[in-house]
Amino acid sequence: MVFTKIFGQIFSSANYFKFFWLVLIYLNIGSLVAQTNFVIDYVPKDTKPSDILYLTGTFNNWKPADVNYKFTRKTDGTYELRNKFFNGSWISYKITKGSWPTVEVKNDGTPLTVRKHSFNNAIEETLILQVAGWSDTFNEQTKPQKVAIVLTEIPRNTPPNSSIYICGNFNGWVPGDQRYKMKQLANGNFQIEVPVYTAPLEYKFTRGNWLTVEGNSYGRPIPNRILGSKEISLNQPIKNRITYWEDQSYGIFNPYTLLLILTALQGFFLIFIINSSRNNNKWANQALSVLIFIISFTLISRVVIYDRVIYTDYPRLSLLTDLVFFLYGPIFLIYIERLLQHSKKSFQAYWPHFIPFIIQIALYITFSFNPTHTFIEQNLFQSLESPPYAFYEVIVLLALVFNIWYWFRIKGKIKMYFRNIEVNYSTDQNIKYLNVIMMVLGVCLVLWTVIVLVDIYSTYSNYPINYTANLLIDTLWAVFSVVVYLLGYFAIKQPEIFRMAVVEVEESTPEENRSQINTGELKELKQALHLKMIQEQVYLNPELSLPELAEKMDTNVHTLSKTINAGYSKNFRDFVNYYRIQDFIERAQDQKYKNQTYLAIALAVGFNSKSSFNRSFKKVTDKSPREYFNNLKTD
């Protein structure tokens, strides 16, 4: 009930999130149970009436002669396989005559890349297929060059008696093709010869299906292995080693994803913390809660796509991580304006800032209407040369520029606030954490820029650097997650920063800056001001502000500010802290305070933090407190 109330408050002023949730529901369409009919209306002329045709694929672990997927030959010469149900949203498949040596090929005898089909459970589908040729027909005609592939090492956790397969563009990427089951030699190595129909030769190792393909330690796909024309022409065995299997690695729960999961959970908990108590920052914390929710949600989405099974069934979930592209900057800006400028404008008032996000959602929904297998291919085999990915790259580039612009705009607002606060207030505000967060976000933008440059270089060069790009992307998300950890750290160490109201400062107008004080008036004001500081010791008030002191002086803020600037060549904060430091020095040498620490004395003379005191002491004396008093002893 408490959580419902909190999240209701968070999103009550953000109606656009209703649209966000509709998109989420759309992208989470479950696995389909599809009924499909397959009809082959053309086969090669050399196909005998006695030949039996089979459907093989991911649904039967690539068994080439599965009686459950046997075609029936009709009197009109067509072949039919009716009323087959498939679990999942898509399949990969091929047609055989009962064995892998008789699998279908292109009309020139070269391997046919596996067929793919995405299902639509709204209707019963019928797929019309044509077979251009059979592999056994071309075996005698085509004698491609062959290259020996040697596997010298496999992971220690490889299940006993596992069969190792190689697949690639030489067999249409069938992962369980019995023709390419590797033979184990007496020395423990595995070896096989594969044909080279085209260069470069691309391949991967599996244990019979894509769930057991080689991968990295975190269970993520690795780039295809590639042999160029130069390597192939050497006619020497190509040695390889497998470090990890995808299904035998850490999987979805690994050190990297656990970091993201813990960050997201901390983010959700932090939302509860900063909204569960009365505070003067309600409007700012509301925007901050939305910001933390978006970060946490995208981190969880990032984790989900690390599992091959989840990704295969729900590939469109990968788009959820991109929702932060055009949301983070505007919402962070809203938070800063509500925090520093006490703005109470609703989220709707900022609607122009969210136009890029709305356009992105519209484009992504259109993009996600592509068949599931096509969607996955465009994600896994990304290339700037393909229109869909080129469109995605444009979005990434625009998002980078978009966020850099917001970073500088927000940085400017924070910098202006700190500059004006020194003119109006004598103590620091507890919002230095903003500078730390801006620094982390700056690192993220630098990493993002490097990723874009690496991607462009990889696209237009002959040196694939997918591993480097993936490492940089993972690093970017890890650094991005630090924002939530920082907010959590400050929420625990300095919880008051999320409860106390941040002071509002005003900039002086050009007319006020140009106004002058005559010499006689300046002298009188300086004398009165000095007496006020010495006799009444108003500097002892840690919350002393320029307006408050002007009221005590029976003058206006701008006249007092001019007096301090012109008469002492200091801003308001440095002027007040000068008197605090003088008082501190006197007390530190007084026997009456000998049992008190420097920090206790500093707080007693009006400082509100150790860092503020040390900074001011160094500014006034050009020494640290310890150095200053050690010098006094030696003198």
> Residue 343: its pLDDT value, please?
74
Residue 249: phi and psi, rounded to 5, are: -90, -170
Comparing 15-19, 226-230, 568-572, 622-626, the range with the smallest average pLDDT is 15-19
Task: Give residue-wise pLDDT tens across range 504-517.
Answer: 444 444 444 445 66
Please give the Cα distance from 549 to 574 (Å, whole number). 14
Band of the pLDDT at 31, cuts 50, 70, 90?
A: very low
pLDDT at 124: 77
pLDDT digits (tens, 9 = 90+) for 132-145: 999 888 765 667 88
* 523-564 tens-digit pLDDT: 888 888 888 888 888 888 887 878 888 888 888 888 888 888
Mean pLDDT taken over the chain: 81
Q: With contact defined as beta carbons under 8 Å apart, do 560 and 550 qualify?
A: yes
User: How far is Cα 579 from Cα 622, in angstroms, rounded to an integer?
Assistant: 16
The larger pLDDT score, comparing residue 503 to residue 248, is at 248
Record the tokens describing residue 46, joined without a space. 């050399």
Give the list of residues 6+ apart from residue 11 with CB closer than 8 angstroms, or none.
17, 290
Mean pLDDT of 356-376: 81
pLDDT at 386 over 90: no
Assess whether pLDDT exceeds 60 at residue 498: no
Cα distances (Å, whole numbers) of residue 112 to 101, 103, 270 = 13, 9, 53
Residue with the larger pLDDT of the pair 612 and 39: 39
pLDDT of 95 reads 95
Examine the pLDDT at 26 and tell me if it is beyond 60.
no
Bridge partners of 411, per DSSP, are none
The pLDDT of residue 34 is: 63
Average pLDDT for 214-234: 80
pLDDT of residue 516: 64
Q: Which residue matches tokens 């850490």?
A: 250
CA-to-CA separations, 372 to 88, 316, 391, 492, 536, in angstroms, rounded: 10, 8, 18, 45, 76
| Distant-in-sequence, close-in-space partners of 70: CB < 8 Å, separation ≥ 6 | 52, 53, 54, 55, 81
Strand partners, 93: 57, 115
Say whether pLDDT at 1 is over 60: no
Q: How far apart are the first and last CA of the chain?
A: 68
Tell whether omega for the bond before 200 is within 30 degrees of 0, i.e. cis.
yes
Phi, psi for residue 6 in degrees, rounded to 5: -65, -50
Does position 23 have pLDDT exceeding 80, yes or no? no
Helix (H, G, I), strand (E, B), or coil: what is residue 537? coil
Query: For 236-246, what is the mean pLDDT?
Result: 89
3-state secondary structure 414-432: HHHHHHHHHHHECCCCCCC
Q: What percent of the chain has pLDDT over 70?
A: 81
What is the pLDDT at residue 128?
93
For residues 98 and 54, the answer to whether their CB atoms sit within 8 Å is yes
Domains and CATH numbers, the chain: 2-27+253-498 (1.20.1070.10), 33-138 (2.60.40.10), 145-248 (2.60.40.10), 520-634 (1.10.10.60)
Is 214's pLDDT higher than 80?
yes
Backbone torsions φ then ψ of 194, nearest 5 degrees: -120, 145
What are the C-alpha distances in Å from 133 to residues 69, 178, 575? 20, 19, 90
Q: Give the CA distances from residue 36 to residues 21, 127, 150, 371, 549, in Å, rounded to whole numbers and listed in that order.
A: 32, 7, 41, 15, 83
- The pTM of this model reads 0.70
β-strand pairing of 145-153 with 238-241: parallel
Range 203-215 average pLDDT: 90
State residue 54's pLDDT score: 96
pLDDT of residue 181: 94
